[in-house]
Amino acid sequence: MFTIGLTAGQAWELPSRSTLSDKFEDYHRRSRRQLYRKVELLLASRGKDGKACVLKAICRAAMRSRTEIGKRPFMEEIMHAVFK
């Protein structure tokens, strides 16, 4: 059995305050924005148009119907969860 992995070197910035903001949505939105930027940079380092790839993934995740969830390969399900 062979295992192939890709380490993207995801280093997460720690918050400057010890508590989360009162609005969890703001924190969630900011952390997604940071993740998307890191994915863009990773793809750009591989010679791809990172921003276009991220935007395409977000659009595809938004168009996916609820009946399709759980019927795709594991990695595709993970990507859907990240980009939805």
Buried-exposed string 40-58: b where 16+ CB fall within 10 A, e elsewhere: bebbeeeeeebeebbeebe
Give the pLDDT means over successive 10-residue stretches in the chain (84 positions): 53 60 62 85 90 86 77 77 77
Check residue 47 and give its pLDDT. 92
Question: Model's pTM, two decimal places?
Answer: 0.54
pLDDT at 49: 92
Contact assessment for residue 51 and residue 59, using Cβ atoms and an 8 Å cutoff: no
Q: What are the domain boundaries of the chain? A: 21-83
Q: What is the pLDDT of residue 1?
A: 47
